[in-house]
Structure 1
């Protein structure tokens, strides 16, 4: 007991934190210091257990992934038992180097799954987490990455389609044995007779020849789940259209007997720009960034899915858009937006229909599209039960924004600059259980000195009992690092992860999107060595928010509410007053969501005041053209990497001579930003001097650049002119289509 106390005290020491971690990783009884030893990685919160690190850390929910336990050496004679979710056991093994291995089992759910390891089958004192991933979301290289010299190819299938089913993954038969690894395999299905023709959904598995036929939870490589069109009956051979129609009619009959889920789904955003920036997650089957291969939505270029399933029926919403940015409706095209009875990503508690990831969606929504639309010309049956929702009731979320040094735009549109150094509540909604915290640090100039101003460097967030997500800048310029519960989260295998109570998407290291079940979202962008954060809230958060991003109630006059409830009038919001206001929203160590996993963070933020009272920022604009801080305004409104766009905001830029100084201020028309641009001799301004944020979330005008006064500038001007023409044409098309829809609606109302 004495030794335990000593180590706990050492953990509080800035000097001995690393020493404590080394002791705890070697002796199990010393893991009790984890509660205070902030750099420790091998001990769990329950000090009686070791926390394990594994590689790879994720695999398909079908199972069969062999993962290695790192940093632990096992006795070679040990027989490992790996237990997932405290109930599913698989046999592990110890390799010749003493490294432990587990085989992931079949899981009817996605997300982080806890597992334990025992070496005696009785005591499970080592624990870790395994990321179970949707079968269609893993990178293709991962699915073919296992090397095998010979093996079996087996057919695994799901339960036959009916109105009441229990998820089952059943072995049918082996397609081939002792196959050479030449990268190709062809086969002829065994039979077209029942019972094989009753199965409609399946997958192919490649496993070791030494394994018995159909052995569960063995090392294997899986294909994605797909329509099982191998065992076509004689009826299909005689008349394929009639065969498909019969299947379609059976589905139609089933749908009429099931509960109506349509009134529970949310409406789609009106435009592609809104959908990509404010609504949901890109549909992996129709992605404009990957060539718009939209098999199930022909004519569309991009689709998004609602992040969360509906609360009662676990239904999903899919919204699709054409090349003009307009929403595609099933009343106009077979490729229109469609709701889903089973959300493709499933929904807790997962194991019962329609909540099983992938399988529920296939059985309720995708196979019927094959029968009614792809394999026969009877889509009217399908669209009777899967009609597009328009955007009549869609309400864009309200955005609170922090960017630059840092500037804040509240949810109701007020703007101010707060240059405090520390950790603060960007937004706190106690009744909703949502907390978004921001960390600011001093700006480092090109010459290595520190400016008397700060920048946003990290954002941490949690909703109720969800996983804690932190996004922070790294030493690598413009790269963001994501942490889950204070541990680094990798996106090397998939661009999105469905975690406990939170969804995180990051397709590139510069962008991270976080979504919560309430519909709240946080977008983080890194540009030019700085971070910009947008907190997006649905209307249900009205009168629920406090913090640096203000009170959300459509009244900008009471946006700034201090931590003791006092409203700061806009005519009294000077720089010194704002500094005091911001300091009041500093968090505490007890409420902090941040990780302090370096000596610098420990010194500057954990063992120091959350608001640094010794740091006094500059309250006036200092003229220094070499200081990148004062180029922030022009980059924000006129640079190539625009970080945010709040509808109605106007950015105005005046070209100034070399003798004139920077001037940054507020545009009285819209509350946007304005300023002078210093032009050196030999340079001219190319692009728009004034830009306005349009209703669709896009900037008007042309990207503004300083270019040399030569032929390069002329060429660039021509390119920008062409781009403007294209934008104008698109805008005209969108306007015509919008007017046409309004006319049709007015005519319809007249007929009624």
Structure 2
């Protein structure tokens, strides 16, 4: 064991083992989380930051504790004392302290544990029907940041060390727990970007009864962060898969969810000076100064507001262009989150309900109705329960905003980022319902955008300085005195023109040129171009993909191919001694249905047996028919003979 000695204010420490368990009837009022001191491994140990020990066979009662944590605390405190300055390890399996049975036959011991877990799972409610489906591709999974977040146990950015999902290069977890049971979803992908399924590999995606990050109320099972997940989803994987070869038990209760019902979010962006890219793909520039509605939706009561301010050139002079400098947002009764440019260049500041948040100790903060993730000062992602994601990136003194909206907000959005309904012709719909053409002049678009200014009564912003009070709170929410340059003249005598034209080529060139020439900065133009390309890459990654769902190999046969998306082909073959019936090859079609027929492998001697059986049946049928015919013939002859006798008797009586 190693630890940071500066965190413990003591010369000597005790090393303790604590156990975690959940008791009572599952999902009932008496279901409780139990956190208990078990015993001390080392006492009066020098606080050197290093300790090692050889596990001893503990008393039998400790075998009931499958998982727990180690605690390092000052020796001056009693064993198991609570509310003391201490360091804790993460949750882990504590099989090393268990009974002799584990040491003599670990696989047999693990199988017994696996079977007991299987019985417990069968008695619990099925949570699989309420969890969200996985994204179809790795690209979708990494781009859908409003609903999914990197699983730190399998992160492609950290080298893809995927202990529990061999063969995967990256996994993500659903950010929100499921509605009723607080369950989690995990989705894993291979090096080709395809989703891995447990039907094909032990490294496949697996859902979780206990969400790894917990679900409010966090003290109630199975919603306890980390520990509930370990109890129901991790330690059981040890028992069934890692410590014994019985994964079929585990995957019966934790099968992969495929992506047949997954619907990717839609993305819109604000970047540069600032330029807008709406949900339906319309692009325009709006250099107004003020505070505006970017996205508003009555569904989920979502509001995202943006503040813009005039730009300054490198020499400090004011430029006739603006930048997005702050964004405030809320969903239903969540905490209000505001992200704004900080005092240092390319640094973002995050406020919760007008108070600054610090990310010096952690990069992930779970608040009321919202998650905030900030891995570094230039990057912030805000996630709401609806699946809405709001991303911020700072570069060259400018904030880039990306908003990701779930499909259920389709046709339910208003604001500068447009109406998300696949119709670019109504993207410029004003707050009073009037529509201007998408090919309107820059001046007309400017006037339209000014109409989306917020009011003090609806504002979510923080006015914590004299400057903000004077410039935004006591001033018009859209400053009519600030008139920007609606276009940039390309002066052939301008020494910056040629390098700008060389830099700004292809898609996004007009935005790049505007920013480079207005700001007199190639760096500014390049930052805008990179942001534009990043957004187009995100939109491409989030394009819908058709899935036909998992195909199983036939009994007594194999399949080749584990990709189940449109145009993917799966090929089947049979073991020796078996013959293939149905389709040898099936292709995923655009309607989500596999081509061909179900595939079966039939033993070579089955046909002979069947034919022999048919022959026997036919022989019996022929025999029965012969007997019936013979019987009818005999009966007919008997009746004829009886008739002859009657006629003879009648004839004799007349004589």
Matching residue within 225, 249, 252 for 1:357? 225
Task: Give the structure 2 partner of residue 243 of structure 1.
Answer: 109
Task: Pick 1 or 2: higher relative contact order, CA cutoff 8 A, min separation 6.
Answer: 2
> Please, what TM-score do these two structures have when normalized by structure 1?
0.67
Q: What secondary structure is seen at the aligned counterpart in 2 of 1:603?
A: helix
Task: Give the structure 1 partner of residue 8 of structure 2.
Answer: 146
Q: 2: CA distance between counterparts of 1:472 and 1:744?
A: 50
**1:651–1:692 contact (8 Å) kept in structure 2:** no
Deviation for aligned residue 1:599: 2.6
Map 1:45-444; keep pairs closer than 5 Å: 145-159=7-21, 164=26, 165-189=31-55, 191-278=57-144, 279-444=147-312
Change beyond 3 A, Cα 1:692–1:163: closer
1:552 pairs with 2:420: yes
Q: 1: CA distance between counterparts of 2:430 and 2:245?
A: 63
Change beyond 3 A, Cα 1:156–1:409: same
Superposed CA offset, 1:452-479 (max 9, x none)? 1111111111111111111112232222
Deviation for aligned residue 1:437: 0.6
Map 1:442-591; keep pairs closer than 5 Å: 442-571=310-439, 573-591=440-458
**1:161–1:199 contact (8 Å) kept in structure 2:** no
Say which is worse superposed, 198-207 or 595-604, in terms of deviation: 595-604
Q: What secondary structure is seen at the aligned counterpart in 1 of 2:201?
A: coil
Superposed CA offset, 1:610-642 (max 9, x none)? 11111011122233798999999997x87xxxx
Aligned length in residues: 540
For the pair shown, which has the larger CA radius of gyration, 1 or 2?
2
Change beyond 3 A, Cα 1:348–1:631: farther
Deviation for aligned residue 1:691: 11
Change beyond 3 A, Cα 1:453–1:192: same
> Please, what TM-score do these two structures have when normalized by structure 2?
0.76
**1:551–1:561 contact (8 Å) kept in structure 2:** yes
Deviation for aligned residue 1:214: 1.3
Q: 2: CA distance between counterparts of 1:408 and 1:629?
A: 24
Change beyond 3 A, Cα 1:244–1:630: farther
Task: Give the structure 2 partner of residue 739 of structure 1.
Answer: 568
Q: 2: CA distance between counterparts of 1:606 and 1:630?
A: 42
Q: What secondary structure is seen at the aligned counterpart in 1 of 2:207?
A: strand
Q: 2: CA distance between counterparts of 1:470 and 1:630?
A: 39
Deviation for aligned residue 1:350: 2.1
Change beyond 3 A, Cα 1:263–1:698: closer
Gaps of 5+ in 1: 1-139, 639-649, 655-660, 666-677, 680-686, 700-732
Q: 1: CA distance between counterparts of 2:102 and 2:409?
A: 54
- Give me the CA root mean square deviation: 3.3
Map 1:16-27; keep pairs closer than 5 Å: none
Deviation for aligned residue 1:598: 2.5
Superposed CA offset, 1:166-213 (max 9, x none)? 101111122222111222222344543421111111111111222122
Q: What secondary structure is seen at the aligned counterpart in 2 of 1:576?
A: helix
Change beyond 3 A, Cα 1:238–1:696: farther
Matching residue within 558, 582, 598 for 1:751? 598
Q: 2: CA distance between counterparts of 1:630 and 1:268?
A: 47
Q: What secondary structure is seen at the aligned counterpart in 1 of 2:231?
A: helix
Q: What secondary structure is seen at the aligned counterpart in 2 of 1:186?
A: coil
**2:323–2:398 contact (8 Å) kept in structure 1:** yes
Q: 1: CA distance between counterparts of 2:271 and 2:433?
A: 25
Deviation for aligned residue 1:365: 0.5
Change beyond 3 A, Cα 1:158–1:574: same
Deviation for aligned residue 1:348: 1.4
Q: 1: CA distance between counterparts of 2:485 and 2:124?
A: 65
Higher percent of residues as helix? 2
Deviation for aligned residue 1:590: 2.2
